[in-house]
Structure 1
């Protein structure tokens, strides 16, 4: 696209381009906020507030501890936790120590965790004890040498922390038995680090900050390499985009954001944690967003200004009988991402809060935000909005040329938030990057005269379950290894709750194989959102003359 036709659709005051080079690294941004907002609350968790000054002190101690382990600059450290205060502390520490963060889904199975730890070459992991048994099963096969173990109540004070840990371990039985004899407890690590020397490394904008794992067309999970400047750019782009709404927060009032999406997901990581740090806001950490009564009870204690969420969460909140126990009158920005927002949900949300859901679009590879609807818009557009400042979109045909005007094409994105490539996979990087620096998303879109883009199809066979990518090849590989399975295929089917769900079609080798057998195998090897909603047995799979499975036929039936 020779010109950015979408600029005329920008709200007043949002510039076409911003200075994305304001900081040398994410550490510069964090340390500036720690100084500027030292007395403010940074994180609120289960009724406990943690200030910017405390986050500064705890993270520096933990950074010193990590350096004391002999970890060298650029070494990878994995973090596998839900939304607890130890997460942002660990992230700040890892980056301050000059190390690279590897975000890990805490619900991974041993198979999935082993792949990510081996692929990233992680030398250390910070993990909550609830998932320690998963790590124990694969630890010996990974390069991890150091394990730091967190508990739910670590940052809640001695008495409350002990009560919370007792409930989690003994009453709710949420911590399966594990044996990790060399693991060090998080609070122990902080105590040791507080007595050790910390050396602040000189970081550059082009240093690697995060490995953000994403599925691939091959089904193998790959690490998107996000540099400090990629995430920084996206934080500043998002701040500029939200400004017309956030400028309406009264002077002297601390902006408050809800973090109900998991921090290991790039949407919550950048738009929840990092953007809130930049603006001196308070982040309300929600450890379990599926417990809607608990979420609403927590939110009733705060004045909420921003809520990044996925369609399923907006819907679950808006339709819950306790919805009105929360004061939504100050809500300025509701960002919908991860998956398409449904029009009925957008309409209900606007009716009940007066704050429209601005649907955005992005990927792990774009840190993540690439486009968004204007925060001033009151209508549901069904589009993914317009590209953010400093960002260019174009639509490509199958030959890689720009699609003719009015024709659909693959959305390709260029901007400072686009990743450096896939971790140690130049072949995979070459497949998605054009010679002129655009990232090919695999999503097919159209654009209207005002520059609003809409997704109409997918080039890849990816299934989008509640904002999480599920790659059929990975599932088929896992299920195909099951004794009793001759072959299998999976497709996405429409689902009112999660947008799409997984349908698995199996051809038996062993006639005695049951649906329960298949489900048990999937449960052992695949995290929850990848597991099939529907399991169907057939005598054969529909195929082309060359033997390629006709997924469309499996969907249509």
Structure 2
């Protein structure tokens, strides 16, 4: 949506504008670049000698990143792929990831990000659905590809190793990964090429300018499938460029009170195949000439803490579960946090006990925002200079509108709960090959229906109360799991928790809470007493089950659907 359309499409008052930081405009300026490839090349020229990405002690400068991605793009073009063909990337946070992704984009193809931990069935679905013609995969997951690729249209497979871009150290890393940790199951992909072989062949080829337009697809970003079959959100170059611009003006407001370092350092602990890290870390990092510290395995908390301690981290995008896990590590508590400027919380609700403890421990507040794969992803954000935890997802960012609507698509009264709907230049072009799903997700006036329930306060801040499908109905009363979880999580003996609804013959549904103890002596009676003191009767959990852990997605989001059974 261009600026003219955004200005004229609604007559609803934008009450959030009065709460904007002074430097943030109502609308972003016209896009400076035609494509992500053009933006990438511009940044690599401007910041050539700066480190762009680091992994396991090895850094890639912007100059090297440009040269290596050019080889990837040239090689892909030489395989006969047509502009707009899809190329799948099944890699964790290693240096090859940005090299490959930007190579694909520069060559005029569409990136299909794939979770490396997918099963063969899940991988086959995504490759078949996207019609991918090529796949880049880490050898650790090549056995999965071996089982899935023959049933798809994939013609070219490139296999990378953990040590490919680590120099001499890479041989040691590969030996440890393969022989010591035994993380590479046997695989057979007879026609596959190695990543190093592709770089070598690409070095002898030329990259042709593909003539990419802003409206061309850049990514098929598959949803996690929590609301049904996993489907690809079609994100255009304009979508991502707009969201980069929107985040850029918001980020600038963080330096009204804090001096901007010569080069920002981002911690990239969230996976680059996820839209949050893809845009907030990789795209924003490249656009601003920043340095991203890539973490291949954020579940290894001691190793992550060690990595954080070795860098002056300025910007840290993360999730509630990650923040919580870090704070329960004794070595993390001893770190120097004076360099931290911004900590972004997204992907799931940040809980008040976690946010307040984080601020006390680090001195840097968690700035909560909100977005989805379908919105590239950022749609709302709290002010960067706000130190208190509001529990709100923030204000609509520049050129973005939020409308809270009922089941009939009518806007509800300000302050009432309804479905959060989003309109702006970052909203996807639709779902890949699913016009019915696209029609169901979009309103006639071009708002995206998020499926999240919330309300907007008088200052324009939005609060999520839950997803439509997660809502628990107890005797006709709506119970929102987030509220129950936040209360239970505030008990000092609770590490983390998740609330779900169970069928109940008397009340329709009853609330059950799954709890992971921080205090091993915590009892059911203590949890219930805490709920009696903080929740009205119908919201209190009728059932409590203690677990050693809770099921989580690879991004760290607690999976309530698996707990429902």
Q: What does residue 422 of structure 2 align with?
A: 413
Pair 1:107 & 2:117 matched:
yes
Q: What does residue 342 of structure 2 align with?
A: 333
Pair 1:119 & 2:129 matched:
yes
1:288-329: per-residue Cα shift (whole Å, max 9, x none)? 001111111111121111000000111111221111454310
Distance 2:399 2:52 in 1: 29
Pair 1:235 & 2:266 matched:
no
**Structure 1 vs Structure 2 CA RMSD:** 2.6
Deviation at residue 405 of structure 1 after TM alignment: 3.1
Deviation at residue 237 of structure 1 after TM alignment: 0.7
Distance 1:533 1:162 in 2: 41
- Conserved 8 A contact 1:79-1:101: yes
Q: What does residue 48 of structure 1 align with?
A: 58
Q: What does residue 172 of structure 2 align with?
A: 163
Distance 1:407 1:101 in 2: 39
Residue in structure 2 matching 1:374, options 380, 383, 397: 383
Pair 1:16 & 2:22 matched:
no
Deviation at residue 460 of structure 1 after TM alignment: 2.9
Q: What does residue 545 of structure 2 align with?
A: none
Structure 1 pair 137/492, CA: closer, same or farther in 2 (3 Å)?
Answer: farther
1:424-458: per-residue Cα shift (whole Å, max 9, x none)? 11000000101111000111111111011111132
Deviation at residue 407 of structure 1 after TM alignment: 1.8
Deviation at residue 378 of structure 1 after TM alignment: 0.6
Deviation at residue 44 of structure 1 after TM alignment: 1.0
Distance 2:40 2:53 in 1: 14
Pair 1:68 & 2:42 matched:
no
Q: What does residue 83 of structure 1 align with?
A: 93
Deviation at residue 491 of structure 1 after TM alignment: 12
Pair 1:92 & 2:102 matched:
yes
- Conserved 8 A contact 2:319-2:556: no
- Conserved 8 A contact 1:312-1:497: no
Structure 1 pair 382/131, CA: closer, same or farther in 2 (3 Å)?
Answer: same
Any idea what SS the aligned residue of 2:469 has? coil
1:31-83: per-residue Cα shift (whole Å, max 9, x none)? 11000000000011111111000000000011111111111110000000110
Q: What does residue 543 of structure 1 align with?
A: none
Correspondence list, 1:377-416, <5 A: 377-416=386-425
Q: What does residue 357 of structure 1 align with?
A: 366
Q: What does residue 200 of structure 2 align with?
A: 191
Q: What does residue 5 of structure 2 align with?
A: none
Q: Normalization by structure 1: what TM-score?
A: 0.83
Any idea what SS the aligned residue of 1:460 has? helix
Q: What does residue 264 of structure 2 align with?
A: 255
- Conserved 8 A contact 1:109-1:527: no
Q: What does residue 28 of structure 1 align with?
A: 38
Residue in structure 2 matching 1:209, options 212, 218, 230: 218
Q: What does residue 187 of structure 2 align with?
A: 178
Structure 1 pair 330/149, CA: closer, same or farther in 2 (3 Å)?
Answer: same
Structure 1 pair 527/294, CA: closer, same or farther in 2 (3 Å)?
Answer: closer
Distance 1:50 1:140 in 2: 34
Any idea what SS the aligned residue of 1:421 has? coil
Distance 2:213 2:511 in 1: 42
Distance 1:155 1:105 in 2: 21
Distance 1:436 1:348 in 2: 42
Distance 2:59 2:328 in 1: 29
Distance 2:226 2:66 in 1: 40
Any idea what SS the aligned residue of 2:411 has? coil
Structure 1 pair 495/225, CA: closer, same or farther in 2 (3 Å)?
Answer: farther
Q: After the TM superposition, list the runs of 4 or more consecutive aligned residues in structure 1 that deviate by more than 2 angstroms.
A: 215-218, 246-253, 324-327, 460-465, 490-498, 526-536
Decide which moves more: 14-23 or 213-222: 213-222
Structure 1 pair 246/535, CA: closer, same or farther in 2 (3 Å)?
Answer: closer
- Conserved 8 A contact 1:91-1:101: yes
Q: What does residue 150 of structure 1 align with?
A: 160
Any idea what SS the aligned residue of 2:296 has? coil
Pair 1:275 & 2:293 matched:
no
Residue in structure 2 matching 1:128, options 138, 143, 165: 138
Q: What does residue 478 of structure 2 align with?
A: none
Pair 1:287 & 2:296 matched:
yes
Decide which moves more: 20-29 or 232-241: 20-29
- Conserved 8 A contact 1:85-1:155: yes
1:61-119: per-residue Cα shift (whole Å, max 9, x none)? 11111111111110000000110010000010000010000000011000100000000
Structure 1 pair 349/124, CA: closer, same or farther in 2 (3 Å)?
Answer: same
Any idea what SS the aligned residue of 1:11 has? coil
- Conserved 8 A contact 1:74-1:208: yes
Any idea what SS the aligned residue of 2:380 has? strand
Any idea what SS the aligned residue of 2:135 has? strand
Pair 1:428 & 2:433 matched:
no
Structure 1 pair 60/534, CA: closer, same or farther in 2 (3 Å)?
Answer: closer
Q: What does residue 513 of structure 1 align with?
A: none
